[in-house]
Amino acid sequence: MAGVRVRFAPSPTGRIHVGNARGALINWLFARRHGGDVLLRLDDTDRERSTEAFALGVEEDLRWLGLDWDDYARQSDRFDRYAAAAERLKAAGRLYPCYETDEENQLKRFQQVAAGGMQIYDRAALRLSDKQRRVFESEGRKPHWRFLIEYKETSWVDGVRGRQVFHGSKLSDPVLIRADGTPTYTLASVVDDTELAVTHVIRGEDHVANTAVQLQIFEALGAVESINFAHFTLLTDTGGHNLSKRLGSLSIESLRDEGLSPMSINALLARLGTADPIEPVIDLRDLVAGFDLSRFGRAAPKLDVDEIRRLNAAIVHDLPFERVRGELARLSLGGVDEAFWNAVRANLDRIADAGEWWRICREPLAPVITEPDFVAAAAGLLPPEPWSSSTWPDWTRAVGAATGRKGKALFLPLRLALTAREHGPELKTLLPILGRARAQARLRGEAA
C-alpha cells in the first residue's frame, strides 16, 4: 500500500483522554504497518476554547505514548485556505447565507423532534428575498453559510464497516462558515485532507454521517484523488454505556500520574474491538507487526481501566533494567542497580513501587519481631559474607534444623524481622541486597 498518509486531528480544548488516544494509536499503527506517514493536525478553529497550553499538552501526551509524527499543521495557520475554498463554493452556488439565530435554529430542531421528524435544516434561507436579507442585515445579523447538499446517493467502502450508502435528502446542509467568519471543522477538514495529501481518514463511527457530507464537499471542490475512510466503534464502559461522560477522569495525563506505563495503555487500546488477544508488550513495534484494520468489528468494545493496571503489572515484571534505569533515576532512586531491579520487579504493580523496596533495603527500618527468641536464635546462625542467592535457603535449612520449624512458622517471622512486611520479593534475592550487618541488626530488633 504505497504512499499511505494518515492524520490524527485533536482539538486542543482539553487533554487527550483514552478515546482520543485510541484513535491516535489506530492511525499510527496503520501508517507504520504500511510504511506511511503520520500528520498531527491541531483542529484549533474554535478560538474561544482552544489554548496553547492544551496544544502543548496534546503533544506531551502523544510523545509519552510513543506516538511520533512526520508532519505537523495547525488549522489556525490555514484560514486563508479555507476562505479561498469557501469563495469557490459560493461561486459554484453550493454555499448560501443563512440568517437564523442559534435560538431560532434550536427551536426548529425541537419542533422537528416533537413532530417525529429528522433534524434537517429546512432551507428557509434559500427562499429569502433580497429585501428580507437587507432587513436582517440592517438588524445587525451576520450570516452563517451552509453547504447545499445534492439530493443524490453518496457511497463508499468503509475500511471497518463495509459499503456505506447515504442519500442527500436524509442529510442536513451543514454550516461551513460561522457568523463570525471562522470555518467549521466540516470545511477545514476537507480542505486540509485534500491539500495535505491525506490518503486514509480513520476515525470514530460518530463521524460516519459527516463522511457522507464531506464526500460531497470534496467533489464540489474538485478533489481528484479519492480518500479512503474507516470508522471504528467507540468505547463504552464495562456496563456497555457511553463512555463520554467519564472521559475527563480517564485522561492520559491522569493515567500517567497514576504511574501506569504507556505500553500498558497502548497494549489494551490496540486490541480493543478486535478478536486478537490482549497481551503485555513492551515495545510499540510488537503491535505494528500484527496490526490489521480489518480485524476491528462492529460491536462496541468495553473499556475496563483495571485491565490497564493488570497489563501494567505484567509489563513491569518483564521490563529489563535498561528500560527502567532512566525512570528509576527520575524517582530519585540513586544507586539502584540491575540486581535490585531483578530482585523486586516481579512484586511490583508500577515501576514507582520499586521505591518502597529500595527504602526497605537501604534505609533504617523498624523490624517487626513477633517471636524474639526464635529470631534471636536465627540471627546467631547467619553465615559470613559473601552472600549469594543460595544464602537464604542454606541459612533457613540450618535454622529449621536447629529449631525444628518449617513452612510458614519458619519463614514468616524472619520475613517480618527483615522487611517488616508479610509479603514481598523472594528473600533469596533480597537477602544479599540487605547485607549481613543490616540483616543481623534487624534480627536483633534494632532499626537498621
Q: Is the pLDDT of residue 248 over 70?
A: no
Q: In 3-state terms, what secondary structure has residue 115?
A: coil
Cα 201 from Cα 229, distance rounded (Å): 5
Beta bridge mates, 147: 95
Query: Among candidates 288, 297, 308, 241, which has minimal Cα distance to 18?
Result: 308
Give pLDDT tens digits for 209-236: 999 999 999 999 998 778 999 999 999 9
Beta bridge mates, 98: 144
Q: In 3-state terms, what secondary structure has residue 5?
A: strand
Q: In 3-state terms, what secondary structure has residue 225?
A: coil
Cα 408 from Cα 414, distance rounded (Å): 10
Give the cell for residue 66: 510513543
Q: Is the pLDDT of residue 334 over 80?
A: no
Q: Is the pLDDT of residue 246 over 70?
A: no
The CATH number of domain 1-75+233-318, selected from 3.30.450.40, 3.20.20.140, 3.40.50.620, 3.30.9.10:
3.40.50.620
Cα 243 from Cα 302, distance rounded (Å): 9
What pLDDT, on the 0 to 100 scale, is given for residue 2? 67
Count CB neighbours of 436 within 10 A.
Answer: 16
Question: Which residue has cell 475527563?
Answer: 248
In which band, very low, low, confident or very high, does the pLDDT at 1 lie, cut at 50, 70 and 90? low
Query: Among candidates 86, 83, 54, 45, which has minimal Cα distance to 185?
Result: 45
User: Residue range 33-58: average pLDDT?
Assistant: 93
Q: In 3-state terms, what secondary structure has residue 205?
A: helix
Q: 3-state SS of 254-286?
A: HHHHCCCCHHHHHHHHCCCCECCCCCCCCCCHH
Beta carbons within 8 Å of 360's beta carbon, 6+ residues apart: 419, 420, 421, 424
Q: Is the pLDDT of residue 416 over 90?
A: yes
Give pLDDT tens digits for 281-310: 999 999 999 899 999 999 999 999 999 999
Give pLDDT tens digits for 368-379: 999 999 999 999
Instruction: State in Å, rounded, how far the first CA of the chain is from the last one.
Output: 63
Task: Tell me which of 250 and 314 has the higher pLDDT.
Answer: 314
- Range 166-180 burial, b when 16+ CB lie within 10 A, else e: bebeebbbbbbbebe
In which band, very low, low, confident or very high, does the pLDDT at 244 lie, cut at 50, 70 and 90? low
Q: Is the pLDDT of residue 251 over 70?
A: yes
Cα 408 from Cα 306, distance rounded (Å): 31
Give pLDDT tens digits for 120-156: 999 999 999 999 999 999 999 999 999 999 999 999 9
State the architecture of 80-177 in CATH terms. Answer: Alpha-Beta Complex (3.90)
Alpha carbons within 13 A on the beta-carbon side of 448:
15
Share of the chain above pLDDT 90, in %: 88
Average pLDDT of the chain to the nearest whole number: 94
User: Residue range 334-346: average pLDDT?
Assistant: 92
Cα 431 from Cα 301, distance rounded (Å): 46
Q: Is the pLDDT of residue 61 over 60?
A: yes
Query: Among candidates 416, 357, 408, 405, which has minimal Cα distance to 381?
Result: 405
Return the amino acid letter for 233: T
Which secondary-structure segment (H or E) carries 102? Answer: helix 102-114
Cα 331 from Cα 356, distance rounded (Å): 11
Cα 415 from Cα 424, distance rounded (Å): 9
Q: Is the pLDDT of residue 245 over 60?
A: no
Count CB neighbours of 238 within 10 A.
Answer: 12
Beta carbons within 8 Å of 119's beta carbon, 6+ residues apart: 109, 112, 113, 172
Give the cell for residue 138: 440592517
Q: Is the pLDDT of residue 312 over 80?
A: yes
Fold of 372-443: Arc Repressor Mutant, subunit A (1.10.10)
Least confident segment among 150-159, 231-240, 385-394, 434-443: 231-240
The radius of gyration of the chain's CA atoms, rounded to the nearest angstrom, is: 31
- Cβ(320)–Cβ(344) below 8 Å: no
Task: Tell me which of 62 and 223 has the higher pLDDT.
Answer: 62
Q: Is the pLDDT of residue 240 over 90?
A: no
- Cβ(397)–Cβ(407) below 8 Å: no
- Cβ(359)–Cβ(419) below 8 Å: no
What pLDDT, on the 0 to 100 scale, is given for residue 225? 77
Q: DSSP E strands: which ranges in 213-327?
A: 228-232
Give one DSSP letter per residue of 360-416, joined into a string. HHHS------S-HHHHHHHHTTPPPSP--TTHHHHHHHHHHHHH---THHHHHHHHH
All structural domains of the chain with their residue ranges: 1-75+233-318, 80-177, 321-360, 372-443
Query: Among candidates 365, 370, 349, which has minimal Cα distance to 424?
Result: 349
